[in-house]
Amino acid sequence: MDALLINGSTKLEGEVTISGAKNAVLPILAATLLTREKCIIRRAPNLSDVSFMGQILESLGATVKMEDGVIEVQASRITPFGDYDLIRKMRGSVCILGPLLARLHKAKVSLPGGCVIGSRPIDLHLKGLEALGVKIEIDSGYVIAHARRLVGTEVFLGGRAGPTVLGTANIMMAATLAEGVTIIESAACEPEVVDLAKFLNAMGARVTGAGSPTITVTGVPELHGAEHEVIPDRVEAATFAIAAAATGGEVVIHGARPDHIHAVLDKLREAGVKVERNGPSLKVKRSGRLKPVDITTLPYSGFPTDVQAQMMVLMLLTPGISIITERIFESRFMHVSELARLGADIAIEGPSAIVKGGRPLSGAPVMASDLRASAALVIAGLVAKGKTLVKRIYHLDRGYENIDAKLRKLGARIERVEET
Ligand code: EPU
């Protein structure tokens, strides 16, 4: 198993280019199941979650070729029966359900489990599919679903924590081949949903309103092959922006979509970080003293839950008290106990983390618990005095393309070592 060894106290300086978005490419790959024709996806990030989705498509009968950021999928003949163990391993694989039902009117896939950030139910996905006429049964860990036909209707997808991103993707994809019009209310407005809608429309679907809480899908008899370029990863861009600020450096981030991370940039500015936007580029620089800020994670366009852990590290460096309130996932503070090993003073009170910043951080061996927690530990390691060993970095490789190489190019002293 690999680990990252970081020699801290270095400023990040230079330029970095953002890769394609993991959370956009996963549902887009699932959408290729909607047609028997070839689809070509460009700017696909080279990540373990993406190869994993490729394997899932192959297990369903599709041919998948991945090379230099281009993925070609041809799903000429597919089966509705997914491999139990393969699908169970990755939460994002739940979005094959909508395309399988749209195209084959049946699906049998394993129920995705919970994970360290929360219980992660799929009741809203199932509610939406049932509204379209799908009969669903849960048996021996499988979701077994079938429909004689899918018929458009009105579906309300708001849940306890607001809209669901992959649930919206699933219902949108199922509705593309349904009879009549489907109106999704309380739809997720995330840029990844908009990117999926763009791809579906390129395939011949009729989707309008993506990016707003009301999405309308007018069913069509079939979809055809299409080409698509995936949007840049907003979480990766935000992670590099925070890393630049935390290390007190100056980094130019290329190929990003700054308009997708308004909430993060706004908080960075409030914290005293200098952020300049120049088209798809961003310059982030920390000049003066940092100021405490409070954040609450919310659905888009609020502050993203996927950036909460990284922001916590910046707060740790800020003298005074900052408060993070996590409103999307109930247990997304796994990084707190690991950050404490580096000297962090953070108290959890219900859904909030009270961060007492300003204490020096010093390197230590830490364990990554999930993808974004790992990114936070890496940023903390870059700032801390001495050496930090971040173990279990397979989490990091799920969602950040070449993160160690990109950081090295910015001057970080970071290397991949064998975990002992
Ligand atoms: N929820 C339900 N019922 C459902 C679905 C969701 O109650 O049927 C709840 C969840 O438990 C959570 C909230 O609704 O409290 C939002 O969950 P959502 O469904 O939006 O999450 P997701 O679609 O499963 C995607 C990203 C996550 C990201 C969330 C929120 C992918 C592959 N995953 O998950 O990304 O945190 O949206 O923005 O797109 C990550 O990249 O590290 C990551 C975890």
Question: What local confidence, expressed as pLDDT, does residue 113 receive?
Answer: 64
Res 272 pLDDT > 80: yes
Confidence band, pLDDT 50/70/90 cuts, at residue 314: very high
Interval 104-126 mean pLDDT: 85
Question: What local confidence, expressed as pLDDT, does residue 114 receive?
Answer: 59
Confidence band, pLDDT 50/70/90 cuts, at residue 401: very high
Q: Which residue has the tokens 């209707």?
A: 153
Higher pLDDT, residue 292 or 118: 292
- The catalytic residues are 115
Res 72 pLDDT > 90: yes
Interval 215-226 mean pLDDT: 98
Res 83 pLDDT > 90: no
Question: How close is the Cα of 308 to the center of ligand 1, in Å?
Answer: 14
Question: What local confidence, expressed as pLDDT, does residue 88 receive?
Answer: 83
Contact status, residue 246 vs residue 314, Cβ threshold 8 Å:
yes
Res 116 pLDDT > 90: no
Contact status, residue 3 vs residue 364, Cβ threshold 8 Å:
no
Question: What local confidence, expressed as pLDDT, does residue 163 receive?
Answer: 97
Q: Which of 19, 22, 23, 115 to mutate to test the pocket of ligand 1 (most atoms within 8 A of CB)?
A: 23
Contact status, residue 354 vs residue 346, Cβ threshold 8 Å:
yes
Three-state SS string across 199-241, please? Answer: HHHHCCCEEECECECEEEEECCCCCCCCEEECCECHHHHHHHH
Question: How close is the Cα of 143 to the center of ligand 1, in Å?
Answer: 18
Question: How close is the Cα of 251 to the center of ligand 1, in Å?
Answer: 30
Record the pTM.
0.98
Name the average pLDDT for the chain. Answer: 96
Which is it for the CA torsion 396, 400, 401, 405, positive or negative?
Answer: negative
Q: Ligand 1: which residue has its CA nearest to atom 17? A: 164
Question: What local confidence, expressed as pLDDT, does residue 112 receive?
Answer: 80
Atom number in ligand 1 closest to CA 118: 11
The maximal CA–CA distance of the chain, rounded, in angstroms, is 64
Ligand 1 residue neighbourhood (C-beta within 6 Å): 23, 26, 91-92, 118, 120-125, 159-161, 164-167, 188, 305-306, 328-329, 371-372, 399
Could you report the per-residue pLDDT of 142-194, keeping only the tens digit for each?
999 999 999 999 999 999 999 999 999 999 999 999 999 999 999 999 999 99
Give, in order, the Cα–Cα distances in Å from 223 to each of 173, 179, 180, 273, 390: 11, 14, 15, 47, 45
Confidence band, pLDDT 50/70/90 cuts, at residue 84: confident
Question: How close is the Cα of 394 to the center of ligand 1, in Å?
Answer: 20
Output the six-digit token pair for 353. 């983390």
Interval 19-45 mean pLDDT: 98
Q: Which of 89, 328, 398 to mutate to test the pocket of ligand 1 (most atoms within 8 A of CB)?
A: 328
- Closest to 380 in 3D by CA, of 355, 351, 402: 355
Confidence band, pLDDT 50/70/90 cuts, at residue 311: very high
